[in-house]
Amino acid sequence: MPIKKRYLFLASLFMTALLFGCSDNSNNADDDTGSQEPVADESSDSADSDSGRVLTDAVGHEVTIPDAPEKIIASYLEDYLVALDVTPAAQWSILDGQGLQDYLQDYLQAVPPIPYELPYESVTSFSPDLLLISSAEAVDDGKYEQYSKIAPTYVVGADNNSDWRENLLTIAEVLDLENKAQQLLASYDEKAQAAKEEIQAAIGTDATAAALWLVADSFFIVSENVSSGAVLYEDLGIAVPDVVKEISGDAAANWSPISLEEIATLEADHLFLINSDNASGAEMLNDPVWQSIPAVKNGQVYEYGPETSWLYTGPIASAQMIDHVVESLVK
């Protein structure tokens, strides 16, 4: 992707992450999509199907799940499908397919993109037999009724920022893959425990760390119990800086804005920097305040690009983050 387009992609991702906490982007539909009726026969409504299991989704819809669905659209939930060895019919995208979840592309290279806002005509064009929607907010304003006329539509979580383990178990139940999900969780927990022991042996049990995101000349910090914060603090047992605890208490999204001056008081021994401004110069990293931060002066800043999994959540994203933390901290 050309640098200019990639930077626009990152800026767009930045905006949607602020609004929806990196857990759902499909509800920010263009105004005109809500007036477009799907081209689908009423018999495709989830309530009218004659075969399959009936499950109640996160917001109370009784959904008839077809037996062995083959064309699944699960925008921004692809991480879970890939982990369960299921290939989606389409994958989340922005910028006319130029912006994708890069960290999943080893698995999704052959999967065509679908706009993140899930326009009805785009969804219909894939002739899906099942739609998985990340949150209730993504199908407000009558969208659920319209989507359910295209295919059975199951809302995975009532709210944004759902725990990825819960999402995995829910999606596995819908797809009748509970045993696979339990195996994945056991394998992940084993991986996390082994990494935790390595990290504590390398840096001790009291060393603190934080994950920062630099985008559009602004810094953001991840909350304590979501996304990469959950990996650092809950899964790997790294000590939480007080500033992270304070910000997490009022956080409305996965990533909260933080000033350079606040970062200077963060007292984090280690910093994981997701640098979305690298292509445009990342001028903030030349600021004397940044240069004076102890972790910066001690060479304990570990930089990763936005194409990595640090801005996402899910079993694959979390496992990749564990690998990154180990490679950074365990020498």
CATH topology for 184-329 is: Rossmann fold (3.40.50)
The pLDDT of 86-96, averaged and rounded, is 95
Domain 25-176: which topology?
Rossmann fold (3.40.50)
HEC readout, 26-65:
CCCCCHHHHHCCCCCCHHHCHHHCCCCEEEECCCCCEEEE
pLDDT of 2 strictly over 50: no
Q: Where in the chain is the domain with CATH 3.40.50.1980?
A: 25-176, 184-329
pLDDT-derived band at 250, boundaries 50, 70, 90:
confident
pLDDT tens digits, one per residue of 306-317: 999 999 999 999
**pLDDT tens column, 139-180:** 988 999 999 999 999 999 987 666 899 999 999 999 999 999
Instruction: Find tokens 């699960």 and name the residue.
Output: 74
Q: What is the pLDDT of residues 223-239, one digit of tens each?
A: 999 999 999 999 999 99
Tokens, residue 317: 């994203």
Instruction: Read off the pTM.
Output: 0.86
Structure confidence at residue 11 (pLDDT) = 52
